[in-house]
Amino acid sequence: MLIRLALIGCGRISRRHALAMQDLQKRGRGDFAVTALCDANEQAAIERADMLEELLGIRPALYQTHQELLAEAQVDAVDLCLPHGLHHGIAVDCMEAGLHVLCEKPLGITVKACRLMAETAARTGRLLSTAAPHRRQPGQRVAHWVFNESGLIGKPLSFFHHYRTPSSPPKVGSEAVPEHVRWRQDKLMSGGGPVLDSGFHYCDSLRYFFGDVEKVYAELRSLKTGTALPFTAAPEDTVFVTFSFKSGLVGTWAWSLAAPGEEAYNVTFYGSQGSLRDTTAGSFSIFHLFERKPDQKESARLACDDGTVYTMRQLEEMHRASLSPVEEELLYPGGATDGFSIEIWEFLEILRGNRAAPEIDGWEGMRSLAVGDAIYESGLSGEVIYVDEVLNGARSAFQDPIDAHWGL
């Protein structure tokens, strides 16, 4: 069954989606076609159409608004790669028009936006899947296996994550700010700063490893001016969070994109019988746990109490050896290890009836987002915040202006 896809939003991440689609086709998993593209910026749509035609051999039809696309294009599903504030409105319009939706992270801009999307999926019977590639990549699959199945470090107890990555030079004047940065600096369009953007991956990965977070306490600062501005005065570039999980596990996430001085990369998870530690340097490593780039020298290792040490490569081999052929195909379809390829393939397989449900449906996407919003609610109030209170709307002061802006 050929599935016809539309790509809505042809900016930076859509390029990775296009490459992932080519990866799937090269692996003989090409039973889909991108037949329509939509972007408010005509040039962005033309560039992506050129790329997709070259990679996949079909030139999609171009639209500048999603309403035109919904009225004219013959498609089964959409892949949304839009600024965060546009996710819920366009996803709901697509589902109401009968289309299935794969939506880039974070699922919606606030908990209310996510809830609207998940409820619409349930009411219309459409598939809604959250595109979050990191937990689907080998590093995190291995870490999940270490914590939950291998028995190698016993019961997970705690984690200490400390990073300081190089800060990028400040942009001067509005002319110098590219569009993909500009909308990220507008809270009403982004929903928050790094904690909610790439931080969504981090929160989602923690939930993947250890289940739901019960409560958080967070201190957020902006250090780039040379003064420790509080979160109420400037967006965060430096964050200190303590997480308590419903399982009893506790952990800290302390990072800065702006503190002067030495870089630091230290991700350590402790279990009752050992630890799993990653000190691999990388610009996004504060958010992307165990993400090994092909050209990167990896420094992750597992140390058991009895003195045994395993490299991440050895752990990956042990994990792969533990999988049945069916499990192997589910995790790494056709040998794919790119999280974007895997999330797109999962979506297509559900549409074909070969899989039951997405790994991160609308409700799961909402729960991962709620951890990030709990961090903001704590930073704003100075209080410990229970994630369930963010989910049920009892704590929403940070999100209220965003919800009011979007009429949620």
Ligand X SMILES: NC(=O)c1ccc[n+]([C@@H]2O[C@H](COP(=O)([O-])OP(=O)(O)OC[C@H]3O[C@@H](n4cnc5c(N)ncnc54)[C@H](O)[C@@H]3O)[C@@H](O)[C@H]2O)c1
Which positions lie near ligand X, rule CB under 6 A? 8-14, 38-41, 44, 66, 81-84, 86, 104-105, 133, 179-180, 197
By C-beta, is 79 or 377 nearer to ligand X? Answer: 79
- What type of residue is 202? Y
In this chain, which residue has its C-beta nearest to ligand X?
Answer: 11
- What type of residue is 34? V
Q: Who's near 215: CB < 8 A, 6+ residues apart?
A: 243, 244, 374, 384, 385, 386, 387
Cβ neighbours, 10 Å, residue 391: 21
By C-beta, is 40 or 384 nearer to ligand X? Answer: 40
- Give least dist CB 39 to ligand X, A: 4
Determine the 3-state secondary structure of 230 from DSSP: strand
Say how far apart CA 355 and CA 357 lie, in whole Å.
Answer: 6
Give the closest residue to 118 by CA, choosing from 387, 376, 363.
363
By C-beta, is 79 or 214 nearer to ligand X? Answer: 79
- Give least dist CB 53 to ligand X, A: 18
- Give least dist CB 206 to ligand X, A: 16
Say how far apart CA 328 and CA 350 lie, in whole Å.
Answer: 17
- Give least dist CB 175 to ligand X, A: 17
By C-beta, is 302 or 369 nearer to ligand X? Answer: 369
By C-beta, is 84 or 395 nearer to ligand X? Answer: 84
By C-beta, is 153 or 267 nearer to ligand X? Answer: 267
The structure tokens listed for 257 are 């994109």
- Give least dist CB 339 to ligand X, A: 8
Say how far apart CA 288 and CA 135 lie, in whole Å.
Answer: 9
- Give least dist CB 232 to ligand X, A: 24
- Give least dist CB 227 to ligand X, A: 29
By C-beta, is 168 or 322 nearer to ligand X? Answer: 168
Say how far apart CA 9 and CA 348 lie, in whole Å.
Answer: 19
Say how far apart CA 76 and CA 6 lie, in whole Å.
Answer: 8
Say how far apart CA 6 and CA 72 lie, in whole Å.
Answer: 12
